Structure 1
Amino acid sequence: MNTKLLVIAIIVVFFLLFVFRSTFSSSNDQGSSQIAQKVVPKAVSDSFRNIQKSPKCSETCNKIPPSLAQALVHYSTSTITPQQTIKEISVTKKILDMKSPCNFLVFGLGHDSLMWSSLNFNGRTVFLEEDKAWIEQIKKRFPMLESYHVTYDSKVNQADGLMEAGKGPECTAVGETRHSVCQLALKNLPEDVYETTWDLIMVDAPTGYYDEAPGRMSAIYTAGMMARNRAEGETDVFVHDVNRVVEDKFSNAFLCEGYMKKQEGRLRHFGIPSHRDEPNKPFCP
């Protein structure tokens, strides 16, 4: 009889412990759930639920775009590096980080063109190149790049005369460069280039390291006038190879030392505001 009572008592104790543990666990789970709902913001929890409900998200949201994939493969396997150093590239990249996707005009088509186009992902990046054969060669490798052939009438050995001509009133008057009478203005660019408001302009061409080369006099001047003639806001203009005489003098004269924001190595960065609605605004501050 005593043994039976002992067994019954043990069973009753185990049953009570089981009931108590189940009740405590349920209460604890509810409390944790309530705390989680308070801690996790509603927007985050809603986004997580939407991700769980969307079976196609892994196919679209998390897949790297083909253009970026191609850029990664190209630069990781290429033995040819861009002419700009990593510090120089970082100056322009910092602006692209803030402004892209945007309109980016580049004088020059080179080994860094795929990089600029990729950094301006979903924006429009246009390249202006003097060498027609080089354009065709690049198009075969990277057909997604938008580039146009441009001819230049100037030569490096004419730089001093063009600098004097650029000081005249016809060259400092703000207006569309395609209709300008200034000798420095580029008037044969594609119409779309004149009609687009460019947020960034990079001058890294044409060739300018020998006397008979076209030089960057007109490209620098035209970039500055495009910036001044925009409807509103500021244009970031970059000039590479400022260690050379032409790039140094023409960028200071027509993009203005007062508008220069930074120089890193051979690269200068200028921030040029719109002059269109301020006819009395001085050419340089």
Structure 2
Amino acid sequence: MRAKLQYPPFSLKAIPICSLLLFLVFLILRSTFSYYPPPHPHPQAPTTTMLASTSSSSSASASDCPTTPLPTCTKIPPSLAHALVHYATSNITPQQTLNEISVSLNVLLAKSPCNFLVFGLGRDSLMWTSLNHGGRTVFLEEDESWIQQIQSQVPSLESYHVVYDTKVTQADQLLLEMSDEAACQSVVDPRFSKCRLALKGLPNEVYDVEWDVIMVDAPTGYFDGAPGRMSAIYTAGLMARNRESGETDVFVHDVDRAVEDRFSRELLCQGYLTQQEGRIRHFTIPSHRARSGKPFCPPQ
């Protein structure tokens, strides 16, 4: 989630990000601005010499004349305004490409406002929050000092510190345990799972929400001593399966790396894969509680 490269003062990569945010502003304003055409004029009542008839016609004319509502206009939401200024003036842009971001954007445009859980806190966090305007977006981050740094810049973000007890070097063994242990195939609240891959130390605020969209873009996984994303991917899939009903859209970034590639295919299931664009995969995982007896992965 963090940007690792410094860019010149004006970065061309900022243009597509600002374009996405401007497009979202347009959609919101269009939905909140209504145009009402003026009413058709009523034909004038004929003149009569009888007082009673004149009074009756005037009363009917007044009651038939509709009240024209005034057009309404809503200001740009503060989160969107803040995001536009932030990315227009920042030298650092999100690590996902425009095409990769567009995959998640299409889902958020259809589902927002929704519950959006993101593994990772970074320079793109304000963008994700803005794209889910009106919904709840929560970020889970492994580095406490990084949380403090980002929150000093964008204090409105909701983020929590997470401790991982795995290493990238353990990936093969963890995947083998996952295949052999029945507990890892059981669909339960992650807090009560007996599977080693389940994250059990997250804040209760995370477990108590049914997440509509989950993005796995952390923890760090590009060197052997890093935590890797094995537990994050498994827990995201478990939360999706354990929801009361409906389905969850799960995204995994950096699938060009071995761990993200293998674990997303094995734990989120090839049969639930909806789309891949560049280094991001989109899985649509249905509730397994709505219908008992569903296999962990659908048959191929």
- Shared fold by TM > 0.5? yes
Whose Rg is larger? Answer: 1
What are the equivalent positions in structure 2 for 1:94-113 lying under 5 Å apart? Answer: 94-113=106-125
The letter of the residue matching 1:173 is S
Which of the residues 278, 283, 290 maps onto 1:265? Answer: 278
Q: Whose helix fraction is larger, Structure 1's or Structure 2's? A: 1
Structure 2 CA distance, aligned partners of 1:133 and 1:279? 43
Structure 2 CA distance, aligned partners of 1:191 and 1:226? 13
Structure 1 CA distance, aligned partners of 2:288 and 2:232? 19
In the alignment, does 2:80 pair up with 1:76?
no
Counterpart for residue 249 of structure 2? 236
What are the equivalent positions in structure 2 for 1:199-210 lying under 5 Å apart? Answer: 199-210=212-223
> How far did residue 46 of structure 1 move?
7.2
Which of the residues 259, 265, 273 maps onto 1:252? Answer: 265
What are the equivalent positions in structure 2 for 1:49-68 lying under 5 Å apart? Answer: 49-51=68-70, 61-68=73-80
Counterpart for residue 288 of structure 2? 275
Structure 1 CA distance, aligned partners of 2:240 and 2:42? 57
Percent identical residues = 65
What are the equivalent positions in structure 2 for 1:1-285 lying under 5 Å apart? Answer: 33=41, 49-51=68-70, 61-167=73-179, 168-285=181-298
Report the secondary structure of 2:293's partner residue: coil
- Count how many residue pairs are aligned between Structure 1 and Structure 2: 237
> How far did residue 279 of structure 1 move?
3.1
Counterpart for residue 24 of structure 2? none
Structure 2 CA distance, aligned partners of 1:216 and 1:46? 61
The letter of the residue matching 2:100 is E
Structure 1 CA distance, aligned partners of 2:256 and 2:211? 26
Structure 2 CA distance, aligned partners of 1:160 and 1:62? 53
The letter of the residue matching 1:86 is L
Report the secondary structure of 1:268's partner residue: strand
- Cα RMSD of the aligned pairs, angstroms, is 1.6
Q: TM-score, normalised by structure 1?
A: 0.80
Report the secondary structure of 2:297's partner residue: coil
Gaps of 5+ in 1: 1-31, 36-44
Report the secondary structure of 2:113's partner residue: coil
Structure 2 CA distance, aligned partners of 1:282 and 1:83? 35
